[in-house]
Amino acid sequence: MSGAKHLLFPSGERAFRADFPAIPEGWHYLDSAATAQKPRTVIEAIDQAYGRDYATVHRGVYRRSADMTIAYEAARQRVARFLNAHSSDEVVFVRGATEAINLVAQSWGVANLKPGDHILLSKLEHHSNIVPWQLIQERTGVAIDVCPLTADGRIDLDAAQAMLTERHKLVAFAHVSNVLGSVLDARRATELAHAVGAKILIDGCQAVPRIGADVRAIGCDFYAFSGHKLYGPTGIGVLWARGEILNAMPPWQGGGSMIDKVTFAKTTWAPAPQRFEAGTPNIVGALGLHAAIDYVEAIGLPAIHAHETALVAQTRAALSAVNSVRLFGPDDAAGIVSFAIEGVHPHDIGTILDEDDVAIRAGHHCAQPLMEHLDIPATARASFGIYNDDGDVAALVRGIERVTRIFG
């Protein structure tokens, strides 16, 4: 395969795939943008937490509970280091990025937004960064504006600069598009938002496993991501927020753990981040996320990004040679290639590829406004991870050639 020599992890050189027991020989998993497979170290961390070490946190005075509390808070500290946060107190554990964005909307949004205020989103946002703001629009009367895209599928920050006014109180953009793989200049987006006094939320789901995130360097106010896309377990995610903002936000759910004192007359709240973690948390999920971050950083995000960039380049070069294939997004997309085949529904593409043991995503990818912008109902999407190599690209291309033969 042309360009294979540029891969950092080519077939046979370092078998990262062997670290992933759910990927059997001959199966080509190209759906990491939906969810990444789990390395053995993450699975073992989860197994040990449930099988040997399990106890609740923040409650028991017995040793195992105290040890589990230490491990749980160590996971929070690990996330803080991963994001280059000032403090682990800025890290809230949630179920995923969807819950993180809803938390900001229902807490910060309800407390700070009013009729006449504006929120700026973009045309490439995932539904999870659209629908929560529409719900808040119904409650607060805030207006929602939509930033256009450049010709190659990036959020048009020149247009954003022209659109932003002092009426804008929040900007909410994806760091990496889950459909196009286009990368946001997050630092510039933050500077534009702050120039008009707005806060900015960055959806980092696709960024953290591919290019990473340094919240201090970006300068943003909120950053959200899901653990399962970072080779961690499902049901765990992170909301990072600036300490002064988080401490001023009211709780959005009530229950155990998030309180200081409860009486029937009045309840007072625990400080952040505990204020936002009502009930028994996903203890084992946090420990699994800790193991996933350790795994990714041992390899190195720059190496992972370079590897995925090479795979994207191979894939785009091969598919562009097929006359009936239309590619979407920029050439330097981060780990994601979306495409369509003339006259073939993406679901048919996915089904035929599955017959050849190639797993891709087909659909609107929870980005229906983007599909409308592209004037298509859906795309086929191949997305890469640590475990992929040039053999996966070759299998994808063979499958696409078979699709074109079947449909003529």
CATH class held by domain 4-30+300-407:
alpha beta
pLDDT value at residue 408: 78
Dist. CA 390–CA 397, nearest whole Å? 11
**What gap in Å lies between CA 350 and CA 270, rounded to an integer?**
48
Task: Confirm if 307 and 7 have CB atoms less than 8 A apart.
Answer: yes
Which residues have a catalytic role annotated?
366
**Residue 14: predicted pLDDT:** 55
pLDDT at 61: 87
- 3-state SS assignment for residue 261: strand
In 186-245, at which residue ranges do the beta strands (DSSP E only) sit? 199-203, 222-226, 237-241
One-character DSSP codes across 40-90: HHHHHHHHHHHHTS---SSS--SHHHHHHHHHHHHHHHHHHHHHT-S-GGG
Q: List the chain residues with pLDDT less than 70.
A: 1-15
What's the token pair of residue 59?
Answer: 């409650």
Q: Give the pLDDT confidence score for residue 69 in this predicted structure.
A: 96
Give the integer Cα–Cα distance in Å for 62 and 66. 6
Q: Identify the architecture of domain 43-297 in CATH.
A: 3-Layer(aba) Sandwich (3.40)
Residue 203 is encoded by which pair of tokens? 């959806």
Domain ranges of the chain: 4-30+300-407, 43-297
Q: pLDDT at position 257, please?
A: 87
| pLDDT for position 172 | 98
